[in-house]
């Protein structure tokens, strides 16, 4: 276990925001986390767990002890009659896991291709795209309790998964470090193609029964076309959650603005497309300082070069205000603001 001091976090957050960590420890195993938890000084310090840094907005230097999760490894741990169970270290890149499982012939994660971040961060916000959410492919995970240093295993029912939400953003926030995640990849494999843009690909190409690699390629192409690559333009994916409202509220809004893009949910509520509303308020391509709204997808805020976390938050507040003014809806930020 290596303790570093005065570390720049700019390379460790995909928005490329400037911030310093007073102390940073890289953890590569459960044993490392246990050692930190039981360490006479480090054990008492406030801690912040850093994964791929793809879903955080850093607005200041971090006085906390930053734990950078670097647990590696990807392997098949079990073959069940109806699923492959694959385990990955929390520090592995998400995209590397998606590619690895496909190459090994264990498909099921292809709709979640190209989501930035690490394996350990995937259950925290229950990542989702193109009709699949992490919870649909989740088996269990291992974590270490930061107060006691003891290990724990959590199953789906312990994780309180919701839309971009889980127990790790709520009751367990900051209290444990996820070290390994196990995925349940159903067999036989069946493609998930219900999402409009995938349907469009199917119609365009005339490929009616795509294989998993084909779906992976389509998802990568769709994402490349409208989402910025964080290696080139700093960003944290969708900046706001799509708000969920009651059918009455939705009727009220569509009564005034019939074009609002919305999707009925299984429980009778309605999800509104935040990107559409932000776009309709004229924000695409606008900036505050070096923080901007991406030209091709208004739900994504970007770093135009040297943005600070404060600029990003000023821009976010201005967007929230104008969406509230026009639609009466309060948008909620999706990334964790630190």
297 contacts ligand EPU (rule: CB under 6 A): yes
92 is catalytic: no
The residues, ordered by sequence, that sit 6+ positions from 115 with a Cβ below 8 Å of its Cβ are 94, 95, 122, 127, 129, 237
Q: Applying CB under 6 A, which part among 89-97, 201-209, 293-301, 313-321 lies near ligand EPU?
A: 293-301
129 contacts ligand EPU (rule: CB under 6 A): yes
CB of 275 to ligand EPU, least distance (A): 3
Q: Which residue has the tokens 């990542």?
A: 127
| Three-state SS at 32 | helix
The residue from 164, 184, 202, 223 that is catalytic is: 164
Q: Angle at which helices 196-205 and 212-226 pack, to 10 degrees? A: 110
164 is catalytic: yes
CB of 237 to ligand EPU, least distance (A): 2
118 contacts ligand EPU (rule: CB under 6 A): no
238 is catalytic: yes
17 contacts ligand EPU (rule: CB under 6 A): no
**CA–CA dist 47, 65 (Å, integer):** 5
**Other CB atoms within 10 A of residue 239 CB:** 26
Give whichever of 12 and 294 is closer to ligand EPU, judged by the CB atom.
294
- The string of DSSP letters for 172-208 reads TTTTEEEEEEEEEEESS------SHHHHHHHHHH--S
299 contacts ligand EPU (rule: CB under 6 A): yes
**Other CB atoms within 10 A of residue 150 CB:** 13
Name which of residues 223 to 242 contact ligand EPU (CB under 6 A). 237-238, 241-242
Q: Angle at which helices 94-103 and 212-226 pack, to 10 degrees? A: 150
CB of 246 to ligand EPU, least distance (A): 19
Binding site for ligand EPU (CB under 6 A): 129-130, 237-238, 241-242, 261, 273, 275-276, 279, 284, 297-299, 334
Catalytic residues: 164, 238, 334
């Amino acid at each position: 276990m290596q303790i570093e001091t005065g570390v720049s976090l700019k390379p460790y957050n995909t928005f490329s925001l400037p911030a310093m960590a007073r102390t940073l420890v890289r953890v590569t195993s459960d044993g490392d986390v246990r050692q930190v938890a039981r360490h006479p000084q480090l054990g008492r310090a406030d801690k912040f767990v850093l994964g791929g840094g793809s879903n955080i907005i850093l607005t200041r230097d971090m006085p906390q002890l930053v734990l950078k999760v670097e647990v590696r490894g990807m392997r098949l741990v079990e073959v069940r009659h109806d699923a492959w169970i694959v385990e990955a270290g929390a520090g592995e890149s998400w995209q590397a896991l998606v590619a690895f499982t496909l190459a090994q012939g264990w498909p099921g994660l292809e709709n979640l291709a190209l989501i930035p971040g690490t394996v350990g961060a995937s259950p925290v916000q229950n990542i989702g795209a193109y009709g699949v959410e992490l919870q649909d492919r989740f088996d269990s995970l291992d974590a270490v309790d930061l107060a006691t240093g003891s290990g724990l295993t959590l199953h789906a029912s312990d994780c309180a998964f919701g839309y971009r939400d889980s127990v790790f953003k709520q009751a367990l926030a900051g209290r444990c470090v996820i070290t390994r995640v196990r995925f349940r990849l159903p067999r036989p494999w069946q493609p998930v193609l219900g999402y409009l843009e995938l349907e469009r690909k199917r119609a365009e190409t005339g490929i009616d029964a795509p294989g998993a690699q084909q779906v992976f390629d389509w998802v990568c192409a769709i994402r490349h076309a409208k989402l910025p690559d964080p290696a080139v333009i700093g960003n944290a994916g969708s900046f706001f959650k799509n708000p969920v409202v009651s059918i009455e509220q939705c009727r009220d809004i569509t009564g005034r603005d019939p074009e609002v893009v919305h999707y009925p949910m299984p429980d009778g509520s309605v999800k509104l497309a935040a990107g559409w509303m932000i776009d309709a308020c004229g924000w695409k391509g606008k900036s505050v300082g070096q923080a901007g709204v991406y030209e091709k997808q208004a739900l994504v805020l970007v770093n135009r070069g040297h943005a600070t976390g404060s600029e990003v938050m000023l821009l976010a507040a201005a967007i929230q205000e104008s969406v509230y003014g026009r639609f009466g809806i309060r948008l909620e930020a999706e990334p964790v603001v630190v």
